[in-house]
Structure 1
Amino acid sequence: MTKKVLLLPGDGIGPEIVAQAENVLIHLIENFDLDVELDTDVVGGAAYDLTETPLPEQTLNKALQADAVLLGAVGGHKWEPLEREVRPEKALLDLRSRLELFANLRPAMLYPQLVNASSLKRDRIENLDLMIIRELTGGIYFGEPRGVFEEGGERVGINTYRYSESEIERIAHVGFKTAQLRNGRLCSVDKANVLEVTELWREVVTEVGKEYPDVELSHMYVDNAAMQLVRAPKQFDVIVTGNMFGDILSDVAAMLTGSIGMLPSASLDSNGKGLYEPVHGSAPDIAGQNKANPLATIMSVSLMLRYSLNRADLANRINLAVENVLGNGARTFDIAEGETYISTTDMGEQVVTAIK
């Protein structure tokens, strides 16, 4: 059966990097028997400029009907003065919520060719390969009540950090099952010493862990986890944590790999449908300059092939192509150790050539 993939380039560098990922998909469709139908629509600031909403009904309906969605990036300085409900970032939150994408997988793997691009010493990061699993549809980003209110003659900002037992159980199972497929170690990150909601998180994860005797479970406070990620990152195999903590820790892990431009992500529902996107943002300062790194987006296609399109063989082919391109010395400006670097377009073309 033909699978449907929706491309949402978005804002900033989004159109440039998604174009290269689209070229990879087209090459696989034409040469490797990938039975996929591609469609494209607007989201974020680009959508607001056309429709005065960051997530038009047409885009949402296409996303609901698709088997997988590839997103570039949303947001930029241009739209920051807008009311929060119509800012580009609201589209991303709504997509995650409406598509019930509760599990965000963010692998952080250091290619050996980029060991000198990281800010950490070689012995701390060489052979780094860890997975951060972030709960994506709960926690403080979605809790109610929220907002800015008048109280006692001054403004008061409120956000609610909330998790139900079932939400924690659901993401914990993803964490344990992922650890089973890797090295059998799961670290659950919380702040149970001061936040009751994460005290519940720790209790529930511990209970779920009894179903996975083959996985070694540990717990760590989020402040210590942030420190350990830059002190001794290779101690981790799989990390599972809540929405806000996962957002922060995955960006810390990004720099271990040499550049945030190297990190893909997958946001999955319970049936394998997913939204795939690079971890980085829209980078408006370099938009339109053909210098953004498309590799995180291309590797997001690899995750899409593995988790939503059932083509692990092609996912492996993309990963090998990226490794070969880096091995041949190709670098965009964010990972270039000297002054010589290639364009977004050149990097995408080299990956397509390496896939051949």
Structure 2
Amino acid sequence: MLRSAVGKRMFASVAAAEKVLPKKYGGRFVVTLIPGDGVGKEVTDSVVSIFEAENLPIDWDRVDISGLDHEEGVQAAVDSLKRNKIGLKGIWHTSAADQAGKGSLNVALRKELDIYANVALFKSVPGVKTKIPNVDLVVIRENTEGEYSGLEHESVPGVVESLKIMTEDKTERIARFAFDFAKKYNRHAVTAVHKANIMKLGDGLFRNVVTRVGEQEYPDVKVGSIIVDNASMQTVAKPHQFDVLVTPSMYGTILGNIGAALIGGPGLVAGANYGREYAVFEPGSRHVGLDIKDKNIANPTAMILSASLMLDHLGLSTSATKISNAVHQVIAEGKSTTPDIGGSASTTEFTQAVIEKLASL
């Protein structure tokens, strides 16, 4: 049952989204490491240090896109992931000014590899004070279409057309992923988030397909639907009424930020992205941290827990659980926590505290 930050054998075969991953000689895994922008290098360095201290069988294939243009950066990441099948990734920053007309790096990567399912886990962390306790919510977001289809053009000067693409096939795919996830981890309800009262065709299709798949194929899982603006209000006021929310691309981003605020901030949210051939693990809340870059105060918890999900995915479940437990114990003790959750420790001090806790477990 998925009631911890890592869960048991996380997403091992949810919706047939993964294939067996190849091992390097000697039983070691090669994993693509994409530090990303902002605090990405600092928090991925934290993971590298912890893995080294635990002597885990992971070899990193590092892809740093600094200095590369948009297409070169995406292609370098795609080439590495095609070799390795699995990656750990920081958040890429897409500047509206710098990337005008080119689109998001993150969206381009997902579309190129058809990494269609984003999963973000919003669970209260003992030791972190929040207004609403005991939050335990999953947001599953379709990664490849909707508002993030990336299809925009200026038809005449001053008139921009942005295409929101919704297809039955991809909606069925993400719906089955969400219901399979719910069944596998003893989640009892899946709620489709939409705006079908206004976008009757596109969002109407999403709502109707999720409802049909749930009622016809998963009778033991409760299926519901909710308009996105009401979903936002209800998630803030009464998050416990929801179990798994399944959304088109943009709505999941919005609800993800709400979920992060509920549990104490983006530095605590584990996440992953899945396709049929590739899996990329990254923090579940999409905050780059440009304002705190190189200050050594970023909270690496989200990245460490995402890396623990990756270990579970690779079958290294004992190590995944051990690392997750160490992180939660360090936070619960409150002696080496970062400023975002009320402490004064640096990123490296928090990382060292986790390493020391691992040694004592």
TM-score of Structure 1 vs Structure 2, range by shorter chain:
0.7 to 0.9
Aligned pairs (5 A) from 1:15-30: 15-28=41-54, 30=55
Distance of 1:178 and 1:341 partners within structure 2? 37
Offset at residue 54 of structure 1 (A) = 5.6
Q: Give the 3-state SS of the residue equivalent to 1:193 in structure 2.
A: coil
Out of 62, 65, 68, the position equivalent to 2:86 is 68
Aligned pairs (5 A) from 1:11-160: 11-28=37-54, 30=55, 34-43=56-65, 46=66, 49-50=67-68, 53=71, 55=73, 57-75=75-93, 81-85=97-101, 90-114=104-128, 116=129, 118=130, 120=131, 125-142=132-149, 144=151, 146-150=152-156, 154-160=157-163
Report if the CA contact (8 A) 2:189-2:221 is conserved.
yes
Out of 186, 191, 197, the position equivalent to 2:190 is 186
Task: Tell me what 1:170 maps to.
Answer: 173
Return the TM-score normalized by structure 2.
Answer: 0.86
Q: In the alignment, does 2:270 pair up with 1:264?
A: yes
Distance of 1:71 and 1:38 partners within structure 2? 12
Aligned length: 328
Q: Could you give the per-residue CA deviations for residues 201-236 of structure 1, whole angstroms, max 9, x where no partner exists?
A: 111112211211110111111111000111000111
Offset at residue 68 of structure 1 (A) = 1.4
Aligned pairs (5 A) from 1:197-276: 197-209=202-214, 210-271=216-277, 273-276=278-281
Q: Which runs of 4+ in 1 moved over 4 A?
A: 50-54
Aligned amino acid, residue 60 of structure 1: V
Aligned pairs (5 A) from 1:296-311: 296-307=302-313, 309-311=314-316
Report if the CA contact (8 A) 1:21-1:298 is conserved.
yes
Report if the CA contact (8 A) 1:74-1:281 is conserved.
no
Distance of 2:251 and 2:76 partners within structure 1? 32
Distance of 2:287 and 2:218 partners within structure 1? 36
Report if the CA contact (8 A) 2:126-2:331 is conserved.
no
Q: Could you give the per-residue CA deviations for residues 121-154 of structure 1, whole angstroms, max 9, x where no partner exists?
A: xxxx32211110000011111154x12332xxx5
Q: Give the 3-state SS of the residue equivalent to 1:84 in structure 2.
A: coil
Instruction: Give the gaps of 5 or more residues in structure 2.
Output: 1-22
Task: Tell me what 1:325 maps to.
Answer: 330
Return the TM-score normalized by structure 1.
Answer: 0.87
- Give % identity: 32
Aligned amino acid, residue 33 of structure 2: L
Report if the CA contact (8 A) 1:12-1:283 is conserved.
yes
Aligned amino acid, residue 222 of structure 1: V
Distance of 2:193 and 2:99 partners within structure 1? 33
Offset at residue 27 of structure 1 (A) = 2.9
Report if the CA contact (8 A) 1:21-1:297 is conserved.
yes
Offset at residue 161 of structure 1 (A) = 1.4
Offset at residue 239 of structure 1 (A) = 0.6
Offset at residue 10 of structure 1 (A) = 2.1
Report if the CA contact (8 A) 2:74-2:108 is conserved.
no
